[in-house]
Structure 1
Amino acid sequence: MALIEIENLSVTYHVGGRSIRAVEDVSLSVAARESYGLVGESGSGKSTILRAICGLAPVSGGRIRIAGAPVKTPRGKAFSRHVQMVFQDPYGSLHPRHTIDRTLAEPLAIHGIGDTDARVVRALDDVGLPPAFRFRYPHQLSGGQRQRVAIARALMLEPEILLLDEPTSALDASVQAETLNLLNRLRAEHGLTFLMVSHDLAVIDHMCDRVLVMQHGRAVEELSRAALAGAQMTTDYARTLFEASADRMLEV
C-alpha cells in the first residue's frame, strides 16, 4: 500500500468572479520511505499539490489518502502527527519574536508531549546545530541555519511524511548542497517519506527516487531516477527542463 495516494486531484481558486484551475486531474502515489519529486516551472501547480494535502488549498475534485485513509477536513492533530511541511522561505516560516527554543517546543505543547528539553536538544543535534541555538532568534541565524531550524521543527512530532516546498531555493548556492545532504541523511535515519517540490531537476535528481513533471497544472510525465539520469524523457517539455538543468545535475 502506498503511504501517499493522490487520485485525480483538482484544485480550483475563485478570484474576482473567475475560476482558476491550478491543478487538474493529477494522480500519483508515494511508497513508504520513498522520496518523490514534483518538478516544473513556476505556476505548474506543484506547490499547490502540497498545500492541498495540508488543507491549505481548495480541492475541487479527486481524493487524497494517507496510509490508506482519506484525509479529513479540517486536518487536525492526528494529521500533524503523520505529515509535516517545510516551506521555501526559512525566515518567513519562523516567528521573528519567538526564540528557537519556543519554536521547537510549541508543537510538543500543542500535542501534550513531555520531555521538552531533551527533545529540543535532540532535534537541534539532528540538524547539526548546537544546544546554545535554543535561545537565539531567527534574525540571529543565517539562512541555512534558519532552514535547519524549520526542518527540526517539522521533525518534533516524529512524522512519517515530510512535504518539502522548494526547501533550498531561498538559500545561497554554497548552502544548498549541505541542506540537501542533511535531508537525505534524516530520511535514512528516521525512515521518512518525502514529497518534494522543485523547479530544478538537479535538486530532484540528487534527492528523489521518482519524479512527476508538471506543466500548467497537469501531469506531463513520470520518470524514475534511472530514466532521469539517462535523459530518457518522452515529452519535449521534460527534455527542455532536463537540458536547462544538465550542468547543475553534474555539480550538486
Structure 2
Amino acid sequence: MALIEIENLSVIFNAKGREVRAVEGVSLSVEARESFGLVGESGSGKSTILRAICGLAPVSGGTIRLGGAPVARGKAFSRRVQMVFQDPYASLHPRHTLDRTLSEPLAIHGLGDADRRVMQALEDVGLPTSFRFRYPHQLSGGQRQRVAIARALMLEPEILLLDEPTSALDASVQAETLNLLSRLRDERGLTFLMVSHDLAVIDHMCDRVLVMQHGRAVEELSREALAGAQMKTAYARSLFEASADRMLG
C-alpha cells in the first residue's frame, strides 16, 4: 500500500466570477520513503496539489489518502505531514526569534524538552546554536530556508511536502539546500512530495516524477527514464531541454 494515494483529484477555483480548473483528474501514488516530484511550468497545478493535501485548496473531486485512510486534518495530520514553502522569508514570522519559531510547534502539541529539541534542530540543518535568538532578517536566504526546514521537522513527520524549496535562493545556495534535504531524508526515513519547475532539481532529488501541464498529468517518468531523456511526450521533452540549457548556461 502506498503512503500517499491521490486518485482523480480535481481542484476548481472561482476567481473574479470565472471558473478556474487548477487541477483536473490527477492520480498519483507515493511509496513510503520515496521522493516523488511534480514538475511543470507556472500554472500547471503542481503546487495546488500540495495545497489540496494540506487543506489549503478546495478539493472539488477525487480522493486523497494517507496510509490507506482518507485525509483527516488536525493535530494528528500535522504530526505526520509538514510543508516547506517556496519563500522562506514570507513563511517565517519577522518578529519571532528562531527559538520561538522552532519551539512553537512543540508547545501547540504539548511536547516537552523544548530547549534541547531547538538546539538539536539547528544543528541538524547546519546552523550554529548561537543563531537561536536571531530574527529572520538577520539571516541569509539560505539560512532562512534551513530554519523553515528545521521547523517542518520539529514534530518528526513522516512526509514533507516541498513547494519549490530552492527557487527563491541564489544558485550557489540551491545545491547546499538540496543536499541537506537529501541527507535528512536518508537519516529520518522521510517521504518527499516535491514541486519544481526545473527538471534538473527533480532529477537530483526524486525517484519518480509526474509531468503536469494545464492542471493535467502529462507523463510519469522514472529517474532512469529522466536521466536517459526517454520522454514520450513533446511537452516533457521541452521541459527537459529547457533544464539542460539552463545547466549548460
Same structural fold, with TM-score higher than 0.5 when normalized by the shorter chain: yes
| C-alpha separation in 1, matches of 2:213 and 2:223 | 19
Residue 158 of structure 1 corresponds to 156
Match of 1:184 among 182, 185, 189: 182
Q: Number of aligned pairs?
A: 249
Residue 236 of structure 1 corresponds to 234
Q: Which runs of 4+ in 1 moved over 6 A?
A: none
| C-alpha separation in 2, matches of 1:65 and 1:233 | 29
How far off is 1:15 after superposition? Answer: 2.0
Residue 22 of structure 1 corresponds to 22
One-letter amino acid of the structure 2 residue matched with residue 121 of structure 1: M
Match of 2:202 among 201, 204, 225: 204
Residue 38 of structure 2 corresponds to 38
| C-alpha separation in 2, matches of 1:69 and 1:134 | 38
* Structure 1: segments with no counterpart, 5+ residues: none
Matched position secondary structure for 2:183: helix
Alpha-carbon RMSD: 1.0
How far off is 1:247 after superposition? Answer: 4.3
| C-alpha separation in 2, matches of 1:13 and 1:190 | 36
| C-alpha separation in 2, matches of 1:125 and 1:91 | 20
Matched position secondary structure for 1:59: coil
* Structure 2: segments with no counterpart, 5+ residues: none
Contact 1:205–1:249, Cα closer than 8 Å, also in 2:
no
Answering whether residue 109 of structure 2 is matched by residue 111 of structure 1, we say yes
How far off is 1:106 after superposition? Answer: 0.2
| C-alpha separation in 2, matches of 1:219 and 1:139 | 39
Matched position secondary structure for 1:80: helix
Which residues in structure 2 correspond to 1:1-252 (within 5 Å)?
A: 1-72=1-72, 75-248=73-246
Identity %: 86
One-letter amino acid of the structure 1 residue matched with residue 64 of structure 2: I
How far off is 1:16 after superposition? Answer: 2.4
Distance 1:218 1:95, change over 3 A: same
Deviates more, 1:20-29 or 1:8-17: 8-17
Matched position secondary structure for 2:75: helix
| C-alpha separation in 1, matches of 2:199 and 2:66 | 26
| C-alpha separation in 2, matches of 1:206 and 1:20 | 32
Matched position secondary structure for 1:214: strand
